[in-house]
A and B are shown apart, each in its own frame.
Chain A
Amino acid sequence: MQRMAVVAQLVERWLVVPDAAGSSPVGRPQNSHAEVSASSTSVPDVDEATSRESLVAPDVPWVTIVWNDPVNLMSYVSHVFRGYFGFSREESERLMMLVHTEGRAVVATGPREEMERHTEAMHEFGLWATVAKADD
C-alpha cells in the first residue's frame, strides 16, 4: 500500500460535494461533539413512534426486510445479523445468502414499532432495511 501516501494528497476533499459542504454548518447537529462518549450505548428515542402507533391494532404483523446492496461485504452483513439479532452463525449466514441471492430477506417479524426500531438499527449499521406489512 505504498500508493496510499500518494493517494493522501489526491483524495483531499473529494468526498464532500460542494453543495453539501456549503450547507453543512446549518445541518450539523449542535450536540454532535458533546455526545461523543455517551453515544454508542444510547437507545433510540421511540416515545413518539410508540404513541403514533397506538391507534393501530397491535396484532397486525410487520416485517423488517434487509435488501442487497453492492457495497457491503457479505461477511459484514452476516456479522451484523449475528451481533444485533443474536442469530446463530448458521442462521446469520443463511439470511445473508438470501439477501445476496434473492435480493432481500425478512430478518424480523412483529409489531410495527419494533420493526421500525430494527430498521433504524440496520440503518445505523449501514445496511439497507425497510419496514413492511407481513403480507405485502
Chain B
Amino acid sequence: MRVSRSHDAIVLEFAEGEAGVLRSLIDQYLEVVSADAGSDPALPRLFPLAYSDDQDAADEFAQYTRTGLVDRKASNAAQVSLALDEETVRLTLAETERWLPLLTDLRLVIADRIGILVDSDAIPETPAGEVYEWLGRLQGSMIDLLEEP
C-alpha cells in the first residue's frame, strides 16, 4: 500500500489483495453497524452512551439519533466500497475525509474482536492484529497528507 498526494488528489496504490480485504471488511462492517442494539459487543464502541451517568437520557439520545447515525455510517461505508474496484484509487480531498471515520469504525470493531480495551493493550500478532495496524497506517498516511499545508 502506498499513499501519496498529487495536488488536490490523494492516490492510494494497493498491493495485490489489499483492496479485496478492505471490501470484505466493509461488507462485514455493514452487517455489524446495522445489527440490532445489544446483539454485538462492538456496537457500544460505534454508538457510545451519550450520557455516562444518566441511562434514561442516554436511551433517549439513542432513540433520536441511532437510525440517522446507522444510515449515515452505512451509506458512507457503501460509498467507500464503490471506490475499491481498482487497485489504484484516486480520491479528492473531500472524498478522503469521508474514508477517515470508516477506517476508525473498522478499527473500533476489530479492537473489540482482538481485545484492545485500554491504551496499554498489545496488538496481537495475528492476521486480525495485522489488519488493525494496516488500517491505522492507511488512516495515518491519509491524515498526514490532508494536513500538509
Contact = CB atoms under 8 A, between A and B. Distances in A.
Interface in A48-85: 48-49, 52, 68-73, 75-76, 79-80, 83
Interface residues of A, number: 65
A72 B57 CA distance: 26
Contacts of B51: 130-132
B34 to A, nearest CB: 4
Interface in A72-121: 72-73, 75-76, 79-80, 83, 116, 119-120
A24 B34 contact: yes
Interface size bracket, B side: 35 or more
A135 to B, nearest CB: 13
B128 to A, nearest CB: 6
Interface in B40-88: 40-42, 45-53, 57, 60-61, 64-65, 67-76, 78-79
B8 interface: no
Contacts of A116: 50, 61, 65
Nearest to A17: B40
Q: Which applies to chain B's interface (DSSP): helix, strand, loop or mixed?
A: helix
A1 B104 contact: no
Contacts of B134: 1, 4
Contacts of A8: 17, 20-21, 24
A11 B116 contact: no
Contact of B21 (A7, A119, A129): A7
Interface of B: 1, 15-18, 20-21, 24-25, 28-32, 34-37, 39-42, 45-53, 57, 60-61, 64-65, 67-76, 78-79, 97-98, 100-101, 104-105, 107-111, 113, 116-119, 121, 127-128, 130-131, 134, 136, 139-140, 143-144, 146-147
